[in-house]
Amino acid sequence: MPPSSETPGPEAVVARSGEADRGARPKVAYLFTRFPWPTETFLQREIEGLVALGFRPDLYSFHGGGGVFCGLPVRRVSKWRLLQLLWLGPVAALRDPDFVLPLARRLFVEWPRDWMNHWENLYGGGIAVVLAGAFRRAGYTHLHGVWASFPAMAAWVLARFTGASFSFGAHAYDLFEYGGDWLLREKAAGAAFIHTSTCAGERRLRALGVPKEKIQLARRGLARWHEAVDRGAVGDPLRIICVARLVPKKGLVRQVRLYAALKRRGFRLSVKIVGDGPLRPELEREIRTVGVEREVRLLGALPQPAVWAELARADVLVHTGEVTRSGDRDGLPNVVPEAMAAGALVITTPAEGVCEAIADGETGFVRRIDDPDAWAECLTAITHDRALCRRVRRAARAWVEANFDARKNAALLLERFRQAAATPPANGFEAMGQPGSGENDDVVL
């Protein structure tokens, strides 16, 4: 990532908007697996941040979502379009065998680390071949895939066939699960830059051989801010909230057992777990088994305004992320900065992404999940020490305001888009016919 002193702020990016008529502003297509989606509000805020800067990318959703977002139409792409590969695939291979044939060997001959990731890449590459003509005629100068898996694959192949530059995001499962996306190194070689939202993600990309100058650290962000208020002392019973998808990497079974241990130590708890997912039946059984039916409630998925209301009422947000056997893990879950902004005290297990925001005793508290005595000591402290609570809440809010502003962080991406669109694509990603030239318009669509 370039030094912060060299990165224009939002005002500088907005000032460039007057250059749009002279071609300085890139025409960008944003590629999503699904958009908008209830569990991916961070992507919605990214778009809100760009729109707040006066920038309006074209949005494409390939699996769910659709409609209109921030006044921008979300273009849905039907999977039935893949039938066109019966004739477009061979033509693409004839037009560019140096790219298509080695890629096909990787996809159809080599054994993948993870079959789901394999199918994501197959779909991304196939739909890109189908859409190449339309994207070329649209005249996009830059393509951005929001994940390193399917969206990055689509952006990579589309860039090859249109002459645009491309970039992609890499944040959590696409970096870590089963070693990360199967073709991440190849995609990174041709990308103008890679967006990651945590220092942990940046370290992972560097370990995979991505040059530092290709990595853009731009955190997620909040598009709207609630007024900071002095929350005072915590309640009795202690109001605890956890907001998470009910999946293994959230550590929720162990979290329920922790509440049972705290109950045995005399704590009065009122716990709400917001979210849904495949582990719900197991969690319901565990809640009954350890005897915390009165203390722990599973609320299911809630709309974002309701989540904010729950955060505003809670004394504590608990996060118990862990690394699964597949290597999947969280980066910095967006609910952690959301809770920090709302005034809920955060207690988390020591995961590297989360600990970028939570410094123990300063902006929150860090405790091991297998040490209930340490959790009991922490809860006792925040129950009785009002000054400690006030100090931690203020420091947490200050961290969020400095690091988690969607508009400021979107400005970093917009500047990268501008730079990428002005630079010829690297690593052989030359244009196969200029946008609108008609040279290849008979090949697709």
- Dig out the tokens for 238 from the structure: 């202690």
Mean of the per-residue pLDDT values for the chain? 88
Fold of 4-221+405-421: Rossmann fold (3.40.50)
Q: Which pLDDT value is given to residue 441?
A: 34
DSSP single-letter state for residue 405:
B
Q: Tell me the C-alpha distance between 362 and 397, whole Å.
A: 11
Sheet holding 365-366, edge to edge: 296-300, 269-274, 238-243, 316-319, 345-348, 365-366
Looking at the chain, the whole-number percentage of residues with pLDDT higher than 70 is: 89
Q: Tell me the C-alpha distance between 261 and 265, whole Å.
A: 7
Q: Which pLDDT value is given to residue 360?
A: 98
Tell me the pLDDT tens digit for each residue of 9-27. Answer: 444 444 444 443 334 679 9
CA angle 215, 220, 221 (to 5 degrees): 140
Q: Which of 139-148, 162-171, 198-207, 426-435 bottoms out in mean pLDDT, i.e. has the lowest?
A: 426-435
pTM comes to 0.86
Please compute the mean of the pLDDT values over residues 34-49 and round it to a whole number.
93
Is the fold of 4-221+405-421 the same as that of 238-403?
A: yes
Tell me the pLDDT tens digit for each residue of 212-252. Answer: 999 999 999 998 887 766 777 788 899 999 999 999 999 99
The answer, yes or no, to whether residue 318 has pLDDT greater than 50, is yes
Tell me the pLDDT tens digit for each residue of 98-151. Answer: 998 888 888 888 877 888 888 999 999 999 999 999 999 999 999 999 999 999
For 22, residues 6+ apart whose C-beta sits below 8 A from its C-beta are none
Q: Which pLDDT value is given to residue 115?
A: 84
Q: What CATH number labels 238-403?
A: 3.40.50.2000
Domain ranges of the chain: 4-221+405-421, 238-403
